Amino acid sequence: MRYDFGYFEEDHLKKVTEAHLWQRILGYVRPFWWEVAGALFLSLIITGAGLGLPALLREAVDNYIVNQGLTIPARLAGVTRLAGLFLALLGLEFVANFLQVVLLEWTGQRVMHRMRQQLFSHMLGLNLSFYNRNPVGKLVTRLTNDIQNMHEMFTSVIVTLFNDFIRLTGILAILFWMNWRLALCMCLLVPAILANTLWFSTLARNAFRRIRTGLARINSFLQEALSGVSLIQLFNREPYSRERFKALNRAYLDDTLYQIKVFGIFMPVVEILAMGATALIIWYGGNEIMQGAMTIGVLVAFLAYMRLFFQPLRELSQKYSIVQSAMASAERIFQLLDTHESLPVAREPQLPAKDGGMVVFQNVTFGYAPGQPVLHDLSFTVQPGETLAIVGATGSGKSTIINLLERLYDPDSGGITVGNADLRQLDPAWLRRHVGLVMQDVFIVPDTLRANILLDRLDIDDAKLTTIVDRAQLTALVRQLPEGWHTRLGEGGMELSAGQKQLLAFARVLARDPAILVLDEATSNVDTETEILIERAIDTALANRTSIVIAHRLSTIRRAHRILVMTEGCIVEQGTHDSLMAAAGLYYHLQSLQVRECGPS
């Protein structure tokens, strides 16, 4: 099997100025600016406390521990006092730290929740052409990983970057204040570190991207293989699949090893630079001390600050990549939010006529892709209460008519009216409740049989449900299930036979009691006996409704009042069964094909 589907390279993104992105991101944060200000304030406390601790240490060493000028009790008392101060500062740092973590998480989560919610409802509003072009996996990534990336940036980078910045400037200030010459020497190292970090982040980012891509490939291969294990086994494709998987894993391994090498070089280089600073302090600081220009306490403090100074620098590259991937995610999210491929909804949806049973297609032309029309200038009318059957070759556009009637797409030209109101003037939710569709493919929601029938009609009680189940010819099935209609269906639950799934779809429509009934090959997997029973049940339950029936089995069609015959998106014949037979056209030909079987073979 050659499937790398499920994984898609990101399409080329439009160039958006970074400032523009930041502005939009900040727009989401603005309602929470109090919280953000609080977090920044806590940063100041944390940094102050963190920097104060080594200062106290220096104070203790210089003023008391090595200060021969004071009496021993005075020196001891001094150390005790400073130790007390040290403790107080510790407590403060702890509380501030804790508060900051929680505050940031709380704010970040709420911002992201809003954004996710907005994105989700935006997506549900987009039309089906959008979904045909965009694989589900990609859209799910927007909702989950991309939002997660932004959250990560929000909680672990923005404020910590601020923290780091304050801390670095604070340390530098203290170092300059203690001994500006030594501090200046150390500043010489900073460009080296920054250059190293920059170089590294480029390499690391590429390595990470390759690893992520590799992992995504492995996972989508696995996903597809797992859902098609039976096919692999039936086609004896196991050795081939194994080899494919091995190759994907091999590539992934190479990428991870490369990443380990990149990190293996970067980390020691930073370390060596840090050690260089230590060596510098020893050499230069030692000389200063020997000349009496500096105290030993300053040297000890310098060594301690060094550590604090290098910590954030070491993490800088990591944060840099987090920000970068978050920006890329933000760009993709905003791009999706800027996609307005939804069908226009009338500002003030028209209230449909009381008798909403009439359906008119007027000169409808439509194609899924521009320039490739599937329906050509199609016109027909269904009278209220009439049953219309549509027959035609596969791929002739029957399901497409239904897609238009449900307003999943809008026609390229021409118009469709239901109950004398143009579809574009109606509320889509009203329309879809008004037109009950039994689809060609039955989607099973991973839930109980009952929930699958009711969907959102939770107002239906068990007595009514029993009737519905009975009419949909599902009673026998429900009775033999150990948990009745509380049996779970779908992943990890039980499977229905193909025909039973279609019966379930009938039950769904019966539960919704629509004014217009549309059946799109709704009984293709159901035997004729059951089909007749269900037709009768529907005739009782939904008597005198307008219905449109698509079917290939001519026995299904015969109950229609009128029949449309389609080829390649055009209506070639229409009329009653008798008139079409008399016309001896395509319909007659189709019939005669079925007739053959009746004669003794």
Partner 1 sequence: MAAIGINRETIRKAWSAVGVVRPVFRQHRWRLLAGFLALAGVNSLQLIIPRIIRQTVDNLQQGIATQAGLLHFALLVLLISLGIGVCRFGWRYLILGFSRILEVDLRNALFAHLLTLDRPYFQKKPPGELMALASNDLSAVQMACGMGLIAFSDALFMSMATLGFMAYIHPGLTLLTVLPMPLLAGLTSYLSARIHHRFKKVQEQFSRLTEFSRDTLSSIRLVKVYTQEQDRTERFNTLGQSYVRDNLRLALVQGTLFPVSGMVANVSMLLVLYFGGRLTIRGAITIGDFAAFISYLFMLTWPIMALGWVANLFQLGVTSLHRIKTVLDAAPKLIEPAAPLPLPAVSQGFALRHLTFGYAPSLPPALKDLSLTIGPGVLGVVGRTGSGKSTLCQLLARLYPVPEASLFLEEQDINRLPLAGVRSQIAYLPQEVLVFSDTVAANIAMGKPDASPAEIETAARAAAIHGEILAMPQGYQTRIGEKGATLSGGQRQRLALARTLLLNRPILILDDGLSAVDTQTEHAIIANLRPYLAQKICIIVSHRLQALADADRLVVLAEGRVVEDGTHVELLANGGLYATIHAHQGMQEGCQ
Ligand X SMILES: Nc1ncnc2c1ncn2[C@@H]1O[C@H](COP(=O)(O)OP(=O)(O)OP(=O)(O)O)[C@@H](O)[C@H]1O
Among positions 450-489, residues that touch partner 1 (CB under 8 A) are 455-456, 473, 476-477, 480-482
Q: Which of 25, 116, 504, 562 binds partner 1 (CB under 8 A)?
A: 116
Q: Which of 84, 91, 268, 395 binds ligand X (CB under 6 A)?
A: 395
Q: Which of 297, 373, 397, 514 binds ligand X (CB under 6 A)?
A: 397
| Nearer of residues 497 and 594 to Mg ion, judged by Cβ | 497
Q: Which of 70, 76, 260, 498 binds Mg ion (CB under 5 A)?
A: 498
Cα 523 from Cα 508, distance rounded (Å): 14
Q: Which of 188, 247, 253, 494 binds ligand X (CB under 6 A)?
A: 494
By a kind-dependent CB cut-off of 5 to 8 A, residue 232 interacts, out of ligand X, Mg ion, partner 1, none, with: partner 1
| Nearer of residues 24 and 110 to partner 1, judged by Cβ | 110
Among positions 516-545, residues that touch ligand X (CB under 6 A) are 525
Q: Which of 202, 206, 324, 525 binds partner 1 (CB under 8 A)?
A: 525
369-378 long-range Cβ contacts below 8 angstroms, 24+ apart: 373/412, 373/569, 374/400, 374/569, 375/400, 375/401, 375/404, 375/411, 375/569, 376/568, 376/569, 376/570, 377/414, 377/570, 378/414, 378/569, 378/570, 378/571
Q: Does 527 bind Mg ion (CB under 5 A)?
A: no
Cα 15 from Cα 469, distance rounded (Å): 55
Give whole-number Cα distances, 34 to 24, 103, 112, 227, 257, in Å.
Answer: 18, 11, 17, 49, 45
Q: Does 199 bind ligand X (CB under 6 A)?
A: no
Minimum CB separation of residue 20 from partner 1 in Å reads: 27
| Nearer of residues 16 and 211 to partner 1, judged by Cβ | 211
- Contact (CB, 8 A) for 566 and 376: no
Count the Cβ atoms, other than its own, within 10 Å of residue 56: 15
Choose among 418, 424, 371, 376: nearest CA to 400.
376
| Nearer of residues 429 and 498 to Mg ion, judged by Cβ | 498
Minimum CB separation of residue 17 from partner 1 in Å reads: 30
By a kind-dependent CB cut-off of 5 to 8 A, residue 51 interacts, out of partner 1, Mg ion, ligand X, none, with: none
- The pairing of strands 562-567 and 421-422 is unpaired
* Rg, the chain, Cα only: 36
If DSSP codes are grouped into helix, strand and coil, which group holds residue 566?
A: strand
Among positions 155-214, residues that touch partner 1 (CB under 8 A) are none
- Residue 545 corresponds to which tokens in the numbers above? 């409704």
- Residue 156 corresponds to which tokens in the numbers above? 């672990």
| Nearer of residues 396 and 546 to ligand X, judged by Cβ | 396
If DSSP codes are grouped into helix, strand and coil, which group holds residue 279?
A: helix
Site string for partner 1, 126-145 (x = CB under 8 A): --x--xxx-xxx-xx--xx-
Site string for ligand X, 79-118 (x = CB under 6 A): ----------------------------------------
Q: Does 124 bind partner 1 (CB under 8 A)?
A: yes
Choose among 476, 484, 491: nearest CA to 444.
491
Choose among 535, 506, 543: nearest CA to 357.
543
Q: Does 590 bind partner 1 (CB under 8 A)?
A: yes
Q: Does 499 bind ligand X (CB under 6 A)?
A: yes
Q: Which of 10, 238, 355, 495 binds ligand X (CB under 6 A)?
A: 495
Residues 6+ apart with CB under 8 A from 150: 25, 112, 115, 326, 329, 330, 333
Q: Which stretch, 103-111, 205-213, 250-258, 494-502, contacts ligand X (CB under 6 A)?
A: 494-502
Choose among 247, 258, 196: nearest CA to 217.
247
Instruction: List residues near ligand X by CB under 6 A.
Output: 132, 368, 374, 392, 394-400, 440, 477, 494-500, 525
